[in-house]
Amino acid sequence: MAPHMPVTPVIVTCPSCSTDNRVLPRQRALPRCSACDTVLPWIVRADPGRFDEAIVAPIPVLVDLWAPWCSPCATVSPIVDLMGHEYAGRLKVVKLEIDRAYDVAKRYGVESIPLLLILDDGREVDRVAGEITADTLREVLERHVPAGAGDPAV
């Protein structure tokens, strides 16, 4: 098993007021701007030892399984980031370099990359393998991501 890396916050610039905010990979509530309270995109990189912790969220999670040598992964990655911004407050994005995550690859039956998993409450509800367009990924996400912005209804 890979050693646990410290939990490192990601710096996210607020799309409304441009304030830099620290966002943790795991937190109880959706990340919001410290200055204007706008819901922020929740895009994190996970290490294999903290993957299970990273996929915990009160909203659906889009997992991007990728590798640095994979050119289709390099094409899909900006699309995944775009979805994280477009669905801020309704979707968490977790990116995992699969070459370092044998246990995760085995658990999810990864046979090729890029592989995108949609998780809801920790359960896989959909997957998309290979290169994908932004429009196609939006169609997949619309089946699983709640409408509206902000905190999901309790």
**Domain regions of the chain by residue span:** 41-142
Q: Do 26 and 9 contact (CB within 8 A), yes or no?
A: no
pLDDT in tens, 84-116: 999 999 999 999 999 989 999 999 999 999 999
Q: Rounded to whole angstroms, how far apart are CA atoms 137 and 109? A: 21
Beta bridge partners of 18: none
Looking at residue 1, its pLDDT comes to 42
73 is catalytic: yes
Element spanning 99, H or E: none
Query: Of 14, 33, 36, 73, which is the active-site residue?
Result: 73
CATH 3.40.30.10 given to domain 41-142: yes
Say if residue 10's pLDDT is above 90: no
Mean pLDDT of the chain: 89
Percent of all residues in the chain with a pLDDT value above 90, rounded to a whole number: 77
Per cent of the chain over pLDDT 70 is 90
Going from the C-alpha of 117 to that of each of 3, 20, 22, 66, the distances in angstroms are: 24, 29, 25, 11
Give SS3 for 100. helix
* Per-residue pLDDT, 7: 57
Q: Is residue 14 annotated as a catalytic residue, yes or no?
A: no
Asked whether the beta carbons of 17 and 33 are under 8 A apart, the reply is yes
What φ, ψ does residue 113 adopt, rounded to 5°? -130, 160
- Catalytic entry in 14, 33, 36, 70: 70
Residue 73 scores a pLDDT above 90: yes
